[in-house]
């Protein structure tokens, strides 16, 4: 079978970036609305979480940005408030059950949380031999236990208040063999299965739970990983990673945020217990 070879570059990706990242000013003209819905987004200080926060606010949501980095969460909330939209920032390390309970307790004092976006996550590179127990546990604490903590604290509140929507950030690494991502793949596989489990157990409580599985997205997460793992070879690796999507480029965070917006809106009321790849053809078109 013939394999299509795609030549891409950072510049190619940048050209696309400008198409999908026009400035958000005030309430956006989006086809899907979240008016007056309170949305808690973890890892909202950077990358995909930041974009989800900005898009959801522009779609009418009252956004709560949660991040281990309070400065970053506050910066995003301030950008949203500068557009005369509502946002508040909270410091929250999702790997700590106590910290998550404290943060959501202060949120619940004031508000019902209609939508939880479990987005915070960290990366790790290495096969099983290169993954120390400490690395394995760290990835587990943030990427798996972090989502468990947030869902465990939010679900009783959602049940009492008549329902809600949960959206978890998984990855194509959950369902596809990606080289040197042993711990990361383990964690994202768990995200997909936690999503199905919660969706099943709470379907009768009017809680919808889905997950998104992106391929490579151009965020600080990716830039940091390239700088750390491929110093001096960053550009070559960027181009190689971009080309690994059959569509020939990486995703932009805005594209992930738009899928998240649809899945969290009432227009997606029939969708629960599903994993949505957004991957430029990575999972099915690489033959
Ligand atoms: P990013 O590094 O740009 O942002 C992640 C944010 O999470 C940061 O603001 C960071 O401070 C925060 N964070 C880290 N640990 C935390 C903790 N313990 N508690 C609370 N916040 C914490 O990353 P991104 O690329 O936007 O990735 C977001 C999510 O998307 C992650 O779950 C990641 O696994 C997933 N994802 C990313 C890609 C990609 O190519 N970028 C692909 C597939 C899936």
Q: What is the pLDDT of residues 199-252, one digit of tens each?
A: 999 999 999 999 999 999 999 878 887 888 788 899 898 999 999 999 999 999
Counted domains in the chain:
2
In-domain check, residue 1? no
Query: How far apart are the CA of 137 and the centre of ligand 1, in A?
Result: 17
Give the global pTM: 0.93
**In sequence order, what are the residues at sequence separation of 6 or more whose Cβ sits closer than 8 angstroms to the Cβ of residue 17?**
218, 252
Q: Are residues 46 and 181 in the same domain?
A: yes
**262 vs 19, higher pLDDT:** 262
Q: Are residues 205 and 245 in the same domain?
A: no
In-domain check, residue 24? no
Q: Are residues 92 and 228 in the same domain?
A: no
Residues in the chain: 287
The C-alpha angle with vertex 122 and arms to 23 and 140, in degrees rounded to 5, equals 145
Q: Are residues 41 and 156 in the same domain?
A: yes
Q: Which of 17-21, 111-115, 155-159, 280-284 has the lowest mean pLDDT?
A: 17-21
Residue 106 in contact with residue 90, Cβ under 8 Å?
Answer: yes
Q: Write down the pLDDT at residue 140.
A: 98
Query: How far apart are the CA of 23 and the centre of ligand 1, in A?
Result: 22
In-domain check, residue 81? yes
Q: Are residues 151 and 229 in the same domain?
A: no
- Predicted confidence (pLDDT) per residue in 83-111, tens digit: 999 999 999 999 999 999 999 999 988 88
With CA atoms as reference, report the closest residue to 148 among 198, 185, 105, 183: 198
Query: Which of 184, 196, 202, 230 is an active site residue?
Result: 184
Query: How far apart are the CA of 266 and the centre of ligand 1, in A?
Result: 26
For residue 197 the two structure tokens come to 């489990």
In-domain check, residue 145? yes
Strand partners, 198: none
Take atom 33 of ligand 1 and give the residue whose Cα is closest.
121
Q: Are residues 234 and 199 in the same domain?
A: no
With CA atoms as reference, report the closest residue to 245 among 264, 268, 217, 226: 217
Rounded mean pLDDT of the chain? 91
Indicate if the pLDDT at residue 6 is higher than 80: no
Chain centroid offset of residue 194 CA: 15
Q: Are residues 132 and 162 in the same domain?
A: yes
Q: Which atom of ligand 1 is nearest to the CA of 50?
A: 26
Q: Quote the CA–CA distance of 108 and 237 in Å, as a whole number.
A: 44
Q: Which atom of ligand 1 is nearest to the CA of 253?
A: 26
In-domain check, residue 150? yes
Q: Are residues 124 and 142 in the same domain?
A: yes
Q: Are residues 95 and 165 in the same domain?
A: yes
Q: Are residues 158 and 256 in the same domain?
A: yes
184 is catalytic: yes
In-domain check, residue 187? yes
Q: Which residues line the pocket of ligand 1, CB cutoff 6 A?
A: 42-43, 45-49, 67-69, 72, 92-95, 119-122, 142, 146, 169, 171, 214, 216-217, 219-222
Q: Write down the pLDDT at residue 7.
A: 37
CATH of the domain at 81: 3.40.50.720
Q: Are residues 96 and 176 in the same domain?
A: yes
State the DSSP H helix or E strand holding residue 138, giving kind and residue range, or none if neither.
Answer: helix 133-139
- Predicted confidence (pLDDT) per residue in 115-158, tens digit: 999 999 999 999 999 999 999 999 999 999 999 999 999 999 99
pLDDT confidence bin for 26, thresholds 50/70/90: low
Q: Are residues 126 and 266 in the same domain?
A: yes
Owning domain of residue 245: 218-250
In-domain check, residue 11? no
In-domain check, residue 183? yes
Query: How far apart are the CA of 101 and the centre of ligand 1, in A?
Result: 20
């Amino acid at each position: 079978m013939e394999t299509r070879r795609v030549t891409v570059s950072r510049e190619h990706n940048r050209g696309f970036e400008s198409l999908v990242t026009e400035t958000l000013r005030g309430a956006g003209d989006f086809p899907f609305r979240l008016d007056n819905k309170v949305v808690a987004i973890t890892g909202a200080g950077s990358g995909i979480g930041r974009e989800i926060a900005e898009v959801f606010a522009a779609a009418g949501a009252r956004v709560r940005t949660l991040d281990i980095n309070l400065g970053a969460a506050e910066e995003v909330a301030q950008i949203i408030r500068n557009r005369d939209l509502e946002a508040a920032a909270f410091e929250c390390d999702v790997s700590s059950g106590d910290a998550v309970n404290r943060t959501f307790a202060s949120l619940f004092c004031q508000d019902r949380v209609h939508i939880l976006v479990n987005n915070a996550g960290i990366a790790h590179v290495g096969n099983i031999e290169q993954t120390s127990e400490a690395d394995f546990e760290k990835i587990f604490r943030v990427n798996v236990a972090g989502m468990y903590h947030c869902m465990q604290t939010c679900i009783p509140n959602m049940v009492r208040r008549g329902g809600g929507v949960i959206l978890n950030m998984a990855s194509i690494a959950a369902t596809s063999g990606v080289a040197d991502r042993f711990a990361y793949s383990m964690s994202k596989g768990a995200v997909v299965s936690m999503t199905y489990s919660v969706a099943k157990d709470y379907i009768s409580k009017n809680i919808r739970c889905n997950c998104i599985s992106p391929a490579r997205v151009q965020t600080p997460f990716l830039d940091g990983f390239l700088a750390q793992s491929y110093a001096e070879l960053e550009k070559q690796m960027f181009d190689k990673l971009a080309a690994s999507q059959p569509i020939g480029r990486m995703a932009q965070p805005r594209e992930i945020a738009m899928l998240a917006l649809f899945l969290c809106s009432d227009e997606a009321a029939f969708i629960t217990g599903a994993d949505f790849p957004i991957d430029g053809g990575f999972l099915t078109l690489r033959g």
